[in-house]
Structure 1
C-alpha cells in the first residue's frame, strides 16, 4: 500500500467540542489547518465517551467492547484511587502504532493514553503515581522509553508543576517540539489535557476554558513551526482532533448509596467495602451496573426494580437504563448487567455513604477533584455533544464533511501511512484523502 504522507502528527486536544468551532475559526493557527485541509463539522464519539476508551478507539478503529478499554479506570470497588487502563496490553488486537512500527517506520508518543509499555520508539506514556509509595518520574520511566524521557525531563522538567495545568501541557509542548526537530518520527501522537481540566473544574463555557483554547492555538502554532524548522513540513500531515465534548452539570448521583442501604454493598466497622453483590461503576455521564452473580434471578430483579423506580422519578438524575445486551449494541461493555445514562445536569460518582444526590458548588470542585462542573462520558446521542476533527498537509485535500465517527479516524490514519488496521468497526474516510 502506497504511503500518502511521510510524517503524521496527531494532536489530541482533549475535550475539544464541535461547539468550539466559532472560536477556532478565528484563531490563526487553527485557521491554517482549516483553510488548507479537511474540516469535519461533527464527530460522533463512542459510549462511554471518556478519555481512555476514546483514545483506544482512535488508534484501533474499534468500539470499546471490541478493543477492550471499556472505561478509564478498573472495577475496584471501594478503592479511593483505582488503577487506570494505562497499559498497551489493555487493548485487544493491533493498533496504529503497532502497524506503523511493523512497517519499519518511526513512532513517538507523548502522554497518549493506554500506551504504557507499548512498543513505541520514543514513548512518554500517560500514567501517574496513584499510590503513596510511588514516584511520578519513576513510574513514567518504567513504562515508557527511559533515555528519551530522562532527556526531556532534564531539558524541560522545570516547566512542570506535577500534574497541574497548564504547566503539564506546556511541558508536553516543549517535549513535542524537541521530538519533532530531533527524531522526525513518521508517526507522532500527542495528548493535551488543559482544556479538559478547565472544563471539569470551571464549566464548559468558562473563561478558563476559553483561555485554554487560546493556549492550544499557540501550542498548535509551535508544532507547525517545529515542522518547518525540522525541514519536514511539506512532507507532513497535521491532525487536530477532540475525543469527546462535555456538558455542564452540578448534581452528582451516588447509586451505590442505595445499593449499600439494600445490603448489596457491605462494609466493615471502618466503613470500607468488604463485599458487594451489585456495584455502580462510574463513567461520569454514564455508569455500568455490575452484578457479581448474574445467574441469580432474585438479585437481578432487585436491581432492576430499583432502576425502574428511579427511572420513574424525574428527579433521580437517571435518563435511560440499558441492559447489558443494549450496552453492547452501543459499543460499551456487554458484561455489565445494566448501563445507566445521566440526565442533563447530572453525573455519577461511586460514593456509597452520604446523600443519593449531592449538589456540587464551585467550592466543592475547587476542594476535591472528584467533584466537577462539567464532564463527559455521556451517550453520543446527547444533543450538541459532538467533537471535532481537522487535518491538513500531505495526503489531505481541502474539504468540509458534515460528519464522521471516532471509529473512522484510525483506519484513515493507517491509510495515510500506508498500513492497515485490518477489519475494523470504522471505515477509511476517502473523502478527505488526496489519493
Structure 2
C-alpha cells in the first residue's frame, strides 16, 4: 500500500443532513467539489447521534462503546454545566491523527472535538471555560498547541465574539486558510458548528439554517482557494462530511423531575442534588438512565417498571426503552441501566425544576433554556442520515455510494494516507478509492 494523497483536508459541517443535499448541489463551491467527486447521500450515523461521539467515531472507525466517548458530556449529576469529553485521553485506542503523526506526517486540527491535549502539531481544540475562574483563551491555549494558538488569536481573534456563531466559524476559517498557506499540514481536521447552532435555536428548515449552509459554501470555497494559491490543490483530497442530522422539537422531557418526585434523586432547598439512586443523562434525542449503584437490583426493577409504564402513553414522549445490553448492541454505553428514545417532537433535558413535560416557548429558546431542534436520536429515525463527499487525489470520479455508515469513514480516510487504525467496526469504502 502507498499513500494516495499528500494532503488530506477533512471538513466537518456539523449537522449537515441528507435533506440539505439538493441545496448543496446548487451552491457554487459545493457544486465544484461534487464535480468528479465520490459521495454518499445516505450515511447512517451512530447512537447516540451527538457531536463528540460522532467525531470520535470519524477518526477511529469505531462505535461509541468501543472508543469510549459515549456522550457529549460526562455523568456529573447535579452539575448545571457538566464537563464535556474534551480530552484525547477519553478515546480508547488509536486515531487517524495519531497514526498520521507516527507515519511522519504533519497534522492540524481546528475545533475538532475530543482533541484537547492530543499530539497534533497545530492544535486548536474545541474546549470552553467551564469554571467561573477560567478564561476561555487561556483554557484553549493550555489544551492545544500554545504558540500556534497564540499566533491565530493575535491574527484573527478580533473576529470572534466569544463562542457565538457565525463569528466563531469565521475565526476558524481564517485560521484554517492561514494554516494551509503557511504550515501546509499533511492531515487537517476542521470542525464548523454554525449550521448546528442555527438549527438548535431556529429550527431545522429555518432561514437561519439555510443562511448557515450558504456561509459554509463560502468557507469551503475559501479553503479550496487556499489550497490552489499554495499549489497544493492537485495533490490534495478534500472531504466534506456531516456527523448527524437534526429533528425539530416542541416539548422537553425532564425525567429527573419525576425521579426526584419518586425519591430517586434527593436535593436541598436550592435544588442542588445531594444524593441519587437513578439519573437521566440526556443525549438530547435519547437519554441514558444510570444507577449510582449498578448492583441496586431494586432500583433497576423500579426504573424498568416506571419506564415501561411511561411508554404506554405517547404524551410522555418516549418511543422506546432499551436495557444496557441492548444499548451496547447498538454501539451505545452498555454500562447504562437503560437507554430511552424520544418520539419526534420531543427531546430530553437534565432539568430538575418545573413540570415533567414542558412546552418549549420562544422565551425559553431566547434564554437558551431549551432548543427547538436537536440530534442524539436513533439512527433508525426516518430522514435522519448525513453525507460524505470526497474529491481530489486518490478518489475515483463520479462514484455514488448508495449507503454507508459513519464508522466506515475512519478506515476510508486512513486508507487514503496509508495508515492502519487496526481492527475497526467500519470498513474501507473501496469503491471510492483509486486502485
Q: Provide TM-score, normalisation by structure 1.
A: 0.99
| Structure 1 contact 127–139 (Cα < 8 Å) conserved | yes
The residue matched to 1:220 in structure 2 has which SS? Answer: helix
The CA RMSD over aligned residues, in Å, is 0.7
| Structure 1 contact 61–424 (Cα < 8 Å) conserved | yes
Which residue matches 1:202?
A: 202
| Structure 1 contact 96–421 (Cα < 8 Å) conserved | yes
Residue 292 (1) aligns with residue 292 (2): yes
CA distance in 1: counterparts of 2:144 and 2:5, whole angstroms: 26
Cα offset, 1:69, TM superposition: 0.1
1:131-280 matches, within 5 Å, as: 131-280=131-280
| Structure 2 contact 109–120 (Cα < 8 Å) conserved | yes
CA distance in 1: counterparts of 2:367 and 2:23, whole angstroms: 30
Which residue matches 1:387?
A: 386
CA distance in 1: counterparts of 2:288 and 2:27, whole angstroms: 39
Cα offset, 1:362, TM superposition: 2.3
CA distance in 2: counterparts of 1:343 and 1:154, whole angstroms: 46
CA distance in 1: counterparts of 2:145 and 2:352, whole angstroms: 40
Unaligned runs of 5+ in 2: none
Which residue matches 1:409?
A: 409
CA distance in 2: counterparts of 1:234 and 1:345, whole angstroms: 45
CA distance in 1: counterparts of 2:95 and 2:434, whole angstroms: 23
Residue 129 (1) aligns with residue 129 (2): yes
The residue matched to 1:315 in structure 2 has which SS? Answer: helix
Cα offset, 1:76, TM superposition: 0.3
Cα offset, 1:270, TM superposition: 2.3
After superposition, give the CA deviation of every residue in 1:296-349 in whole Å (9 maximum; x if it has no partner).
Answer: 222111111110110001111000000000000000000000000000000000
Cα offset, 1:366, TM superposition: 1.2
| Structure 2 contact 46–331 (Cα < 8 Å) conserved | yes
Cα offset, 1:363, TM superposition: 2.4
The residue matched to 1:36 in structure 2 has which SS? Answer: coil
CA distance in 1: counterparts of 2:353 and 2:214, whole angstroms: 41
After superposition, give the CA deviation of every residue in 1:48-101 in whole Å (9 maximum; x if it has no partner).
Answer: 000000000000000000000000000000101110000000000000000000
| Structure 1 contact 362–373 (Cα < 8 Å) conserved | no
Residue 397 (1) aligns with residue 396 (2): yes
Which residue matches 1:29?
A: 29
| Structure 1 contact 12–240 (Cα < 8 Å) conserved | yes
Which residue matches 1:331?
A: 331
* Number of aligned positions between the proteins: 434
| Structure 1 contact 201–374 (Cα < 8 Å) conserved | yes
| Structure 1 contact 202–362 (Cα < 8 Å) conserved | no
CA distance in 2: counterparts of 1:271 and 1:314, whole angstroms: 29
| Structure 2 contact 4–393 (Cα < 8 Å) conserved | yes
The residue matched to 2:119 in structure 1 has which SS? Answer: coil
CA distance in 2: counterparts of 1:156 and 1:269, whole angstroms: 46
